[in-house]
Structure 1
Amino acid sequence: MADKAMADENGKQTERETTLSRLLKSKMAAQLLISLRLAALVATSTAAGLMAFNKETITVTVAVVGTKPILQSFTAAFQQTPAFVYFVIVNAIASLYNLLAMLLGPYLKNRGRDVLVHLSDMAVFALVATGAAAAASMAELGKNGNKYARWNPICDRFEAFCIRGGVALVAAFIGAVLLLVMNAFTAISLMCKSVASNN
């Protein structure tokens, strides 16, 4: 009888420990997810802000009449390139989405919401990745030009513009990687929850 009571007590204690370890794991998983989302928010908002305010004007001498130089100003701005405009828009969307997901996350907890957020995360990752890729292709053209089409590089003249654009691109690619990791983590968490509920 005492052995049975002891076995029952051990079983209850093991069950409590298992429940406690599950709770700790779920809290750690939730904190990791929030950290990833916050880091992605910082990266994408940095990328959007840097590119949105990226503008440089230079003044060069185009001719000399007598002793008087004729000056002309040239401006490089993100609005002049559709790929950069798209880059700013998708990174701003990603930043707003991650902010809303963090603020509304605690109020919407169920499996349907988790699946919907995961699908939305995948869509946002795709937007950020395509925006970064499109902007990177234009940045490469600005840096190296295209000798076959006889397009000259501009980064030798608009150096500050190109440096700020490069930093924005790095931030966007970091944001895309963080979103990818977050998607993988969420998919694994959803799979583990599904397996646990079926057992």
Structure 2
Amino acid sequence: MEKTEATTTIDIGESSKERKGKAPLLPNPPPPLVANGKATTGGYKKGVAIFDLILRISAVATAIGAVATMANAEETLPFFTQFFQFQASYDDLPTFTFFVVGMSFVLGYLVLSIPFSIVSIAKPLAKAPRMLLIVSDTIMLVLATSTAAASTAMVYLAHNGNPNANWLAICNQFTDFCQQSSGAVVSAFITVALLIFMIMLSAIALRRI
């Protein structure tokens, strides 16, 4: 009678040597939360909004300089008696008065627009604050440009006069008055340039939404 030997086989998994060097079997990482490129665009727009806020604060400073300098532009010549003196003041000229009033409106708007610029930083993908800023900035740009351009003509006449119209140059006598009014006009044009840059930034931000 023949005996059959029962054999048992045991499956041994991969040895540690064979598993060495293989990456662990982990689930695939979840895909990044990016929808239509908004994650990248949001960071770009936030940088644009921060730069816009810096330009806006700078424009406030230059507008303050323009209004304060022109509003204090006056000079009295140090000769003749106290009853008969030559005096030059910004309110003697309607153009300079218009300059002070117009730039005051621009200054007030720039101060009020700062919170909207901060909102654009907090919510870079929001369209409404950016649209409001670009429309309002354009209106204030027109006002600032008109006041600065009109005052530039008066400053030119004060420095050079107009022999054809028998208008004499007064800056040879009223030197301080002319320096102050000229400085105010320069500050106004710097404000105009900053407004142009702000409008360009808003247009670029809206285009990439």
Q: Is the TM-score greater than 0.5?
A: yes
TM-score (normalizing by structure 2): 0.77
Change (3 A) 1:111 1:104: closer
Q: Is the 8 A contact 2:52 2:117 kept in 1?
A: no
Aligned to 1:80: 92
Is 1:99 matched with 2:103? no
2-structure distance, mates of 1:79, 1:140: 17
Matched letter for residue 128 of structure 1: A
Offset of 1:192 from its aligned partner?
1.4
2:165 match: secondary structure:
coil
Count of residues in Structure 1 that have an aligned counterpart in Structure 2: 180
Structure with higher helix content: 1
1-structure distance, mates of 2:40, 2:127: 21
**Aligned counterpart for 1:44 among listed residues 63, 77, 84:** 63
TM-score (normalizing by structure 1): 0.80
CA RMSD of aligned residues (A): 2.7
Matched letter for residue 36 of structure 1: L
Offset of 1:53 from its aligned partner?
1.0
1-structure distance, mates of 2:52, 2:151: 28
Please list every run of 5 or more consecutive structure 1 residues that lacks an aligned counterpart in the other structure: 62-68, 194-199
Q: Is the 8 A contact 2:103 2:144 kept in 1?
A: yes
Give identity over the alignment, percent. Answer: 27
2:76 match: secondary structure:
strand
Aligned to 1:66: none
2:170 match: secondary structure:
coil
1-structure distance, mates of 2:82, 2:139: 51
Aligned to 1:129: 145
Aligned to 1:89: 101
**Aligned counterpart for 1:118 among listed residues 122, 134, 149:** 134
Is 1:12 matched with 2:44? no
1-structure distance, mates of 2:32, 2:205: 26
Find runs of 4+ consecutive structure 1 residues off by over 2 angstroms.
13-16, 18-24, 69-72, 103-114
